Structure 1
């Protein structure tokens, strides 16, 4: 019998009829189907792994972004605190400078007052000495 006639006979018998007619072809067909199924499963598994890894990377990037945002917010708050403290320090420096200038002016005024007082004492002493000298030199 020709192979064409045999193929016609097998198709006429219906699905699965060739298994009892040609066991080797049946085995090859089952192996091919199993290999194809494994390839499909492997491809699906690879696709799932890629999706899982992509999802993990997205989650990691989101976590890193949230962490970075948190650190930036913390640094912003810290910077605001430093700026506020600097403003307070600058105000204290300005106040200290004004107080120092005021003390310097007060010392200068006091020094001037003491110099005038010393000058008046010298003038008074000179006048007393001149008066005493005048009394000593006056004819009696």
Structure 2
């Protein structure tokens, strides 16, 4: 049975350890932007809350998969190189800095194992495997 639910991604209405797989497409990159933190219903959004919530709802040994950009992403790098505009250069430099902070945050999580897959030379998918219950 399929069903849809609109909910605050930083406060998911599910119990801890509910899902074997959490798949997030085109959501995490929104949280890793220089113009963020933005607000969601008057509350600040940030990637730490987002990832913590995804880890909370996945079962032990379950997986969380999402697309993202990092400093090495060729897509971001080529976009940065192709822009002569100073404002765009500042944007991509800020985005790269935030991506570095995001990667450091992910690598310091104690309750997940991290693997990264690169597809077609630029698309990156991160897979977090929950190692224990919370």
TM-score range, shorter chain: under 0.3
Q: TM-score, normalised by structure 1?
A: 0.21
In proportion to residue count, which structure has more strand? 2
Q: TM-score, normalised by structure 2?
A: 0.22
In proportion to residue count, which structure has more helix? 1
Highest relative contact order (Cα 8 Å, sep 6+), 1 or 2?
2
